[in-house]
């Protein structure tokens, strides 16, 4: 039975990996440490390692993994900006990812953020627990008939689009690869910014999309706009968002991701001093709802992640081809 060194383990990871790994012929060495140049040595004796979004597989970590005997690195996530694929190739490590696990889970979380903010149920929840049944300041907005601007109509964006149509919203979208024939009205980004009552981001973080909602872009948005981000924090200039929340320009923000989230997200830091004042101030606003990169976190998605990760490793050990293998220097995956 092959042993896998599993970095950055959280209890929810184990549920499906414990169930499915023995069936695929694997045992798992669960490690709480995040992967980096110092911790890579903990994989000693394993021919495969498994990593997540906050692990750092840079040249130094890859070199140590290879020296420890690792030949395959299976990412249990879609993004791979944290892996030096060229270094992996140089050191003979084959890298895999899970390209999609549950687009509907992510889209539903975006909708949950939107509906919560629109009807202020996050505030009602804390209020009624203290036996405060007043409706003061709980007036919401009705989304029917309002315009939602969706940036990125890929797997998640399309699902979100369908959900918004179900609410009776008018959907407009921007994507560098529009899907014609789906009844979506594609517009330019500046028009989307100008017309949208709600903006929801579903595109990847690339050099082109870094600070897509920049300080200057905020001036072009509708007064009272709602902003939902379940994609990547750096799509939004966070300090500019805070300033526009404070000025009242932005009506509400639902953030599952944050620019500097790696310092805090996924961890309990409730007893520590948090030095990020932008995040501190965002968290203190009644019309800002932050979740800790949990849009993917459903039982269905966790099962799909475990299943695909283990299949990727099985194909490695069996010498088979996998569409989920990542090749250095290529944007697209190769078989
Ligand atoms: P996808 O690859 O299916 O769709 C992305 C879409 O963005 C594509 O249609 C693409 O053409 C478009 N796009 C690329 N560059 C663009 C640009 N410059 N401007 C406008 N559109 C552009 O990806 P998927 O599965 O829909 O995921 C979307 C994003 O959701 C991911 O990039 C990821 O950052 C995020 N995500 C977040 C999760 C969470 O737990 N919060 C979980 C999974 C994904």
What does the pLDDT look like over 26-65, one tens digit per residue? 999 999 999 999 999 999 999 999 999 889 999 999 999 9
Put simply, whether the predicted model's pTM sits higher than 0.75 gets the answer: yes
CA dihedral of residues 212, 214, 216, 221 (deg, nearest 10): 70
Atom 37 in ligand 1: which residue has the minimum CA distance?
Answer: 231
Of residues 332 and 326, more confidently modeled? 326
User: Which of 193, 198, 147 shows the shortest CA–CA distance to 169?
Assistant: 147
- The CATH T-level fold of domain 2-101+298-318 is Rossmann fold (3.40.50)
The residues facing 4 across adjacent strands are: 28, 48
228 CA → ligand 1 middle, Å? 14
Choosing from 34, 76, 97, 293, the catalytic residue is: 293
pLDDT digits (tens, 9 = 90+) for 25-36: 999 999 999 999
pLDDT on residue 334: 31
- What is the predicted pLDDT for the residue at 179? 93
Q: What is the mean pLDDT of residues 62-76?
A: 98
Residue span(s) of the chain under CATH 3.40.50.720 come to 2-101+298-318, 103-290
CATH H-level superfamily of 103-290? NAD(P)-binding Rossmann-like Domain (3.40.50.720)
What distance in Å separates the CA atoms of residue 114 and residue 99, rounded to the nearest whole number? 26
Residue-wise pLDDT for 82-126, tens only, equals 899 999 999 999 999 999 889 999 999 999 999 999 999 999 999
pLDDT digits over 195-230, tens only?
999 999 999 888 999 999 999 999 999 999 999 999
Question: Is 232 a residue of the active site?
Answer: yes
Residue 300's pLDDT band, with cuts at 50, 70 and 90, is very high
> Is 261 labeled as catalytic in the residue annotation?
yes
Of 21 and 183, the structure prediction assigns the larger pLDDT to: 21
pLDDT of 330 reads 66
User: How high is the mean pLDDT of the chain?
Assistant: 95
Question: For residue 231, how far is its CA from the centre of ligand 1 (angstroms)?
Answer: 7
Residues with CB under 6 A from ligand 1: 78, 100, 103, 106, 151-157, 174-177, 202-204, 206, 208-209, 230-232, 256-257, 293, 295-296
Determine the Cα–Cα distance for residues 161 and 170; give it in Å rounded to an integer. Answer: 9
Ligand 1 binding pocket mutation candidate from 54, 187, 203, 295 (most atoms within 8 A of CB) = 203
């Amino acid at each position: 039975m092959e042993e896998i060194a599993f970095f950055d383990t959280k209890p929810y990871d184990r549920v499906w990996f414990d169930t499915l790994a023995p069936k695929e012929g694997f045992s798992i060495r669960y490690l709480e440490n995040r992967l980096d140049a110092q911790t890579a040595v903990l994989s000693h004796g394993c021919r495969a390692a498994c990593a997540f979004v906050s692990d750092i597989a840079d040249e130094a970590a890859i070199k140590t993994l290879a020296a420890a005997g690792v030949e395959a690195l299976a990412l249990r996530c879609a993004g791979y900006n944290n892996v030096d694929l060229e270094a992996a190739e140089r050191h003979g490590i084959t890298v895999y990812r899970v390209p999609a696990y549950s687009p509907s889970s992510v889209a539903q979380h975006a909708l949950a953020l939107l509906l919560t903010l629109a009807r202020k149920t996050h505030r009602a929840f804390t209020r009624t627990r203290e036996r405060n049944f007043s409706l003061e300041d709980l007036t919401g907005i009705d989304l029917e008939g309002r315009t939602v601007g969706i940036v990125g109509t890929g797997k998640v964006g399309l699902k979100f689009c369908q959900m918004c149509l179900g609410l009776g919203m008018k959907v407009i979208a921007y994507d560098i690869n529009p899907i014609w024939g789906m009844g979506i009205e594609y517009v330019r980004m500046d028009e989307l910014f100008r017309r949208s009552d709600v903006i929801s981001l579903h595109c990847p973080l690339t050099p082109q999309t870094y600070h897509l909602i920049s300080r200057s872009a905020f001036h072009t948005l509708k007064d009272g706009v709602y902003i939902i981000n379940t994609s990547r924090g750096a799509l939004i200039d966070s300090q500019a968002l805070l300033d526009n929340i404070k000025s009242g320009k932005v009506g509400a923000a639902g953030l599952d991701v944050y620019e500097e989230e790696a310092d805090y997200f996924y961890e309990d830091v409730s007893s520590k001093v948090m030095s990020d004042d932008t995040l501190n101030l965002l968290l203190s606003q009644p019309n800002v709802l932050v979740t800790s990169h949990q849009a993917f976190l459903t039982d269905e998605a966790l099962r799909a992640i475990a299943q695909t990760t283990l299949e990727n490793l099985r194909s490695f050990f069996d010498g088979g081809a996998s569409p989920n293998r990542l090749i250095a220097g290529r944007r697209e995956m190769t078989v």
